Amino acid sequence: MSAVTLVVHNQRPNAAELAREAAEWLSARGHEVRMPEVDAEVIGMPDLGVPDEKLAHDVALAVSLGGDGTMLRTVDLVEEGEVPVLGVNVGLLGYLTEVESNALTPALERFFAGDYGIEDRMMLSVTIRSRRSVLDGWSFRALNEAVVEKTQSGHTVRMLVRIGGDVFTSYAADGLIVATPTGSTAYSLSARGPIVSPRHRALLLTPVSPHMLFDRSLVLDPGETLSLEVIGHRPATLSVDGTSVGELGEGDVVDCAPADRSARLVTFGQRNFHRILKAKFGLSDR
């Protein structure tokens, strides 16, 4: 039978209970269940824990039990194996999750019966160039965004932006967000960036509290690349999908481009992104 990876929100008891139920259901039908070692310890099933590098190897499905943050973590753990990810919402309404917690068993039944679809989501490739930092050459993939932002309260950070290798302009701001369409409803949205259909392919550049007249987001063709260079003496920090990577200094560059692979999200029928938006913002029909 198939191997299935479960990834669990560690601070939600109902997510842990759901993981135990899912593990029992899968095991009873002959499926191998794997979990990140820390998750397996939290839910009291340490025998299911495996090293992270085994979570995507020969795995038919990854199940995310939590919210959008857990989805990002799950995608990060299994995307190299191009494993389809089923998002199960445990808590608040999420943009990325596909089913509610009470529908997990029917969703698993449908998946193993072949009654499902796959929605490919563009991911972001993020690479650091530095002449003095150990971060030089480090690369990451992100489903939502990469953020370069200030480290010191009360100060801005200055960044020079290049588009396709050509200088665009310099920014004085609290930070700059480079987002995918999926990430347009995350940090970029809170910085007044545009909402973009997740099925679209584009790069979004959104400044955070810019101290300049030009304060608009840019929506760029996916064939274009973005480079963010720290200029001036104030350091900046880089985070990728909400995880801090490290500190950047003057002359350090973050290159962003579409990744060479997509996140593969399990769907059951056409996913109605606009309906999710309406529910999230409490929009009426009239």
Angle subtended by helix axes 13-28 and 104-112, to nearest 10: 40
- In the residue annotation, 68 being an active-site residue is answered as yes
Same domain, yes or no: 266 and 247: no
Residues 253 and 130 in one domain: yes
In this predicted structure, what is the pLDDT of residue 122?
97
Tell me the CATH number at 144: 2.60.200.30
In a domain, 286, yes or no: no
Check: pTM over 0.85? Answer yes or no.
yes
Q: What is the pLDDT of residues 260-281, one digit of tens each?
A: 999 999 999 766 777 777 777 7
| Active-site residue, selected from the candidate residues 39, 68, 76, 252 | 68
| Residue span of the structural domain in which 90 resides | 3-121+262-281
From CA 286, how far away is CA 282, in angstroms rounded? 12
Angstrom CA distances, 84 to 17, 22, 146, stand at 23, 17, 23
**What stretches in the chain show pLDDT beneath 50?**
none
Do 9 and 117 share a domain, yes or no?
A: yes
Using one digit for the tens of pLDDT, what is the confidence trace for 78-119? 999 999 999 999 976 678 888 999 999 999 999 999 999 999
Nearest CA-CA partner of 157 in 176, 144, 139: 176
